[in-house]
Structure 1
């Protein structure tokens, strides 16, 4: 009993100290440093123009019309969750289908058919794999330069622009390898589409 009386106050003090250090001090230092050094990234990498927010550079948005660049497949669900006001909440997730499954093959074939129909000038070009597959998160905002190039002729025609104009936009929205070494070059689909709409300059 005497041992317990000695241990409990010490344990309580240690608990409070580590709660303050790990839950308050550490959090405040990391948050403050992030806001100071990387404020754009720390606040969600939001694309904002004239006070209006159009989305995050880190989250994909679904486009299916001819005048906009298409991104990767998104598994969107609007039937499961609702907020406290009863409004539908949208969320996306990766596909759990096996690449060897028949259903997966049918989905890929359907997507290839849609891409072929939307981009008839690329009939002799293989459809880039990232345009017919889902990313790990289901919300990847990027596609490969090859996937962007595949859509150039359609975008030029639908937006009454030259193919060189479209490629110039793609170049401006292309992100290089991390530290010049890791990963691959990618194209941010949302930025391209906002430039096509004249929102981003």
Structure 2
């Protein structure tokens, strides 16, 4: 009996030692190694791809979308609008989710029809010109990207609201358009959060050039 007890105690001790050693190596050491390598090779991505305003304040991440609306939830016409989000109240990282509704779900069909009409009216275009990503949420509800077609649809409105040249706004869109991965995987996308930040920075720079005295 004593032999069995001693054997069981020895086995338990060896297991605890192995757990502690592997935790130190794989749980702590490996994590620190990967984090350190990421900070050296890609410091921006390692820190969450953060976006900062001209004054240095943190405004978000290029990996997570945002809503560009007023206090009543109406879209701000001077900004590019993202696709809808089903994550909490919109782009909530703690409630990432899609609608999980099928294409024959009547609530989803009604929501898409309503969104299409609102987007068409906002941009003064025919409802048939509104692309699919403008009226449907992504699977995560956090996607910051829209299609180049949806971005192009909004250029005239944004330019008009900001008293800017459509060509200048179009150049900004092109600068924030990412092509297919490896040239053939996926579709081109436009990061709305980064694009709208660039719009604000452009407006601020233009204002300073017109009023250099402050």
TM-score by length of 2: 0.81
Contact persistence 1:174–1:187 (CA under 8 A):
yes
Choose which of 68, 84, 88 in structure 2 pairs with 1:77.
88
The equivalent of 2:66 in structure 1 is 61
Aligned counterparts of 1:55 and 1:15: Cα–Cα separation in 2 = 39
Give SS of 2:88's match: strand
How many residues are matched?
191
How far apart are 1:141 and its partner, in Å? 0.3
Larger Rg: 2
CA-to-partner distance for each residue in 1:142-192, whole Å, 9 max, x for gaps? 001111011111112111112111110101111122233322111011122
Higher-helix-fraction structure: 2
Distance 1:161 1:23, change over 3 A: same
Gaps (5+ residues) in structure 2? 69-74, 206-214
Higher-strand-fraction structure: 1
TM-score by length of 1: 0.86
Question: What's the RMSD between the two structures over aligned residues?
Answer: 2.2
The equivalent of 2:212 in structure 1 is none
Gaps (5+ residues) in structure 1? 82-88
